[in-house]
């Protein structure tokens, strides 16, 4: 009976376009074919080091049926991410290997067994308030891509990269308080990113 507390979306600008326009539809005109005319060729620009942007997560989980039988502050009723352990699921061997060098790559979403092979679970960075955060680059790598990979939907030569076309990436958060062969345990969670194949963004 776990419930979604809230859902949020963010946009990270990797590329923009500048176009000069002039107003061609006066305030007193009843109908206009166009409001503005372009007076220059579109000029692209790219945001420097956009993959270094960080995304901070502040989330919780609540189970209303359990809450009716427990004290409101019981972990069996609700849990705040800053009070428990979470990790990021990665299918990227390079990311797993990099994080293993710092002791941050694990075989399971719970436990102490480390690994440098994919798939792995990466320990997040944390603020002084124990809130998780990752760079955009790490979140993309975890799903198996980077901004300079070709968009799978691109038909141009050279191909259009994700940095140029944009993309949609979903991030799911999985909470559980059950472990095989152990039963009920302290709550823990993991993040899992998913690229929407062929997606783009304007």
Range 101-124 average pLDDT: 96
Going by pLDDT thresholds of 50, 70 and 90, the confidence category of residue 70 is: low
The pLDDT of residue 3 is 41
pLDDT for 79: 81
Residue 51 has pLDDT above 70, yes or no: yes
Residue 169 pLDDT exceeds 80: yes
Whole-angstrom distance, CA of residue 121 vs CA of residue 126? 15
pLDDT band at 2 (very low <50, low <70, confident <90, very high): very low
Residue-averaged pLDDT of the chain: 86
Half-sphere exposure of 100 (CA within 13 A, CB side): 17
Does the predicted TM-score (pTM) go above 0.95?
no
**Residue with tokens 């994080």, as numbered in its chain:** 99
Residues near 195 by Cβ (< 8 Å), separated by ≥ 6? 140, 143, 144, 145, 167, 168, 169
Write the pLDDT tens digit of every residue in 4-22. Answer: 445 678 888 899 889 999 9
C-alpha distances in angstroms, 98 versus 4, 120, 123, 147? 33, 11, 12, 18
Per-residue pLDDT at 47 exceeds 80: yes
């Amino acid at each position: 009976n776990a419930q979604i507390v809230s859902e949020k979306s963010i946009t990270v600008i990797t590329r923009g376009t500048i176009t000069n326009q002039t107003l061609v539809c006066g305030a007193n005109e009843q109908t206009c074919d166009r409001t503005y005319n372009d007076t220059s060729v579109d000029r692209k620009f790219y945001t420097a080091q956009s993959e270094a942007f960080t995304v901070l997560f502040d989330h919780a989980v609540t189970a209303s049926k359990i809450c009716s039988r427990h004290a409101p502050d019981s972990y069996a009723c609700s849990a705040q991410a800053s009070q428990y352990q979470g990790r990021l699921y990665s299918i990227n061997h390079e990311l797993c290997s990099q994080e293993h060098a710092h002791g941050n790559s694990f075989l399971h979403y719970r436990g102490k067994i480390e690994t440098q092979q994919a798939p792995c679970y990466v320990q997040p960075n944390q603020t002084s308030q124990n809130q998780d955060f990752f760079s955009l680059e790490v979140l993309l790598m975890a799903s198996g891509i980077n901004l300079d990979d070709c968009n799978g939907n691109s038909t141009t030569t050279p191909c259009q990269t994700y940095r140029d076309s944009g993309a949609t990436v979903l991030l799911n958060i999985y909470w559980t308080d059950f472990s095989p062969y152990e039963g009920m345990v302290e709550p823990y969670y993991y993040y899992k990113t998913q690229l929407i194949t062929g997606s783009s963004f304007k």
